[in-house]
Amino acid sequence: MKYFPVFIDAQHINCLIVGAGEVAARKLELILKTPAKITVVSPWVSDTVAQLINEHNITLHHREFMDDDLKGQNLVFIATDKNDVNQHVHDLGHSQGILVNVVDNTPLCKFITPSIVDRSPIIIAMSSGGVAPVLLRYIRQKLESVLPSKISLLGRFSERFRDKVKSALGSVTDRRYFWEDVLDGDIGENVLQGNEEKAEQQLEESLEAYKAGNKPSGQVYLVGAGPGDPDLLTFRALRLMQKADVVVYDRLVSKDILELVRRDAEKIYVGKAKSNHTIPQNEINALLAKLALEGNRVVRLKGGDPFIFGRGGEEIETLIEQGVDFQVVPGITAASGAASYAGIPLTHRDHAQSVTFTTGHLRDNSIDLNWKALAQTHHTLVFYMGLTGLSIICRELIAHGLDGSTPIALVENATRSSQKVVTGTLDTIVDMPQTQDIKPPTLIIVGSVVQLHEQLNWFTPSEV
């Protein structure tokens, strides 16, 4: 971050605005939302600034800027149309350690004003570092549309009871659980609806229950993280990732998705790579139960979907045995993500009327599958974890009836900026030079639908 975001206590801030045109008026209107002490200096004053000065307690020096005007100031906005004045005030303020902002001149800004969504006391401030103001306004509009207009009521309600809850619940974790239950449940809803008296009564009752130890027990959420692109997460997955105390994740969960996990959550890696299972599955199952029984909200974050080659069923069986509550949050499975981002429809009226997901995972140097049932025309096959056994897959499909010219695609790192797609046929794919560069995680798609890749391919990866 080039600019470090902070919120300054404006009760003790002296703010100087140099200039009094319409540009200065925008900054003046912003600062007037705070209790800061404001001084304006300018030889000319626009009608907008004059009106604001008449309506508020603002000191005006109706003259040119003087160096002594900086004495006692903490924050300075420079908004004149004279470059030499702007530069002079900037240099002088900077030499005195004063925070200086030259409006619309980012290189001369020691701080920048963010785009603000104001639901006081809830304030959301955003910045693009001055490089994309239009994009920033677009994001702000989106936030304004999804945030409840009355969320400020929740902010003030929380403020009123903050000290009481803090004194009643000594543990930071207990307080966080309590407030999440308040804000997510009936209490928060009553506040938003204006039923504060009822909400207060409910909060008092809930707080007494927490003090007595009657608080929610730990729970496990099996969350599908999708194929890799964080934009493909479900809303529910993202919300639970933000609430988790512990996140247990595997190798297929992308770094970008992990960045969305709550910052202070504990993260435990249990990934499995080819021929290298860092933690056996039965130990993962036991770990999930143990963490939940300790009172944690546990997110088991899995690439793709938990119930499609994700061993979610095995983990749930252990949770049931241990009496642990759980929920399952579906995700976009890798086959769907890979096919969509490679421009390969899994079904198509002219090519395939059915699709099969199967594992290509090797056991004892063999892949134990019903090859006769798989080797069908007008059908699409998707192999998970099949890259190591690619030669066996091609050989067996040909041996059981598919023509060697049947199209096949390898999709590495599907939906990510590093996605690679290699296409060929069952006869040629193994020996193609491009295949040698493909690494796990890779899905294999077999069938005539692969022919559509060149025509329908819409996604352009950009390695970063």
Residues annotated as catalytic (active site), given as ranges: 250, 272
CB 426 within 8 A of CB 405: yes
Question: C-alpha dihedral over 15, 19, 24, 29, to 10 degrees?
Answer: 40
Q: Is 159 exposed, middle or buried (0-12, 13-18, 19+ CB in 10 A)?
A: exposed
- String of DSSP letters for 61-98: E-S---GGGGTT-SEEEE--S-HHHHHHHHHHHHHTT-
Residue 12 to residues 37, 61, 118, 119, 237, Cα–Cα distance (Å): 8, 21, 21, 22, 42
Residue 21 to residues 52, 168, 303, Cα–Cα distance (Å): 12, 52, 55
CB 48 within 8 A of CB 75: no
Q: Could you give phi then psi for residue 273, rounded to 5 degrees?
A: -110, 170
Q: Which helix (H) or strand (E) covers residue 118, if one does?
A: strand 115-119
* Three-state SS at 105: coil
Nearest-angstrom CA–CA distance, 49 and 51: 5
Q: Which structure tokens are listed for 19?
A: 């200039």
Q: Could you give phi then psi for residue 441, rounded to 5 degrees?
A: -80, 130
Q: Could you give phi then psi for residue 223, rounded to 5 degrees?
A: -115, 125
Q: Is 335 exposed, middle or buried (0-12, 13-18, 19+ CB in 10 A)?
A: buried
CB 55 within 8 A of CB 31: no
Q: Residue 366: beta bridge partners? A: 363
E strand segments, 206-319: 219-224, 246-249, 266-269, 272-273, 276-277, 297-302
Q: What are the residues whose beta carbons fall under 8 Å from the beta carbon of 223, sequence distance 6 or more?
A: 237, 240, 241, 299, 300, 301, 302, 306, 329, 331
Q: Which structure tokens are listed for 113?
A: 């004003």
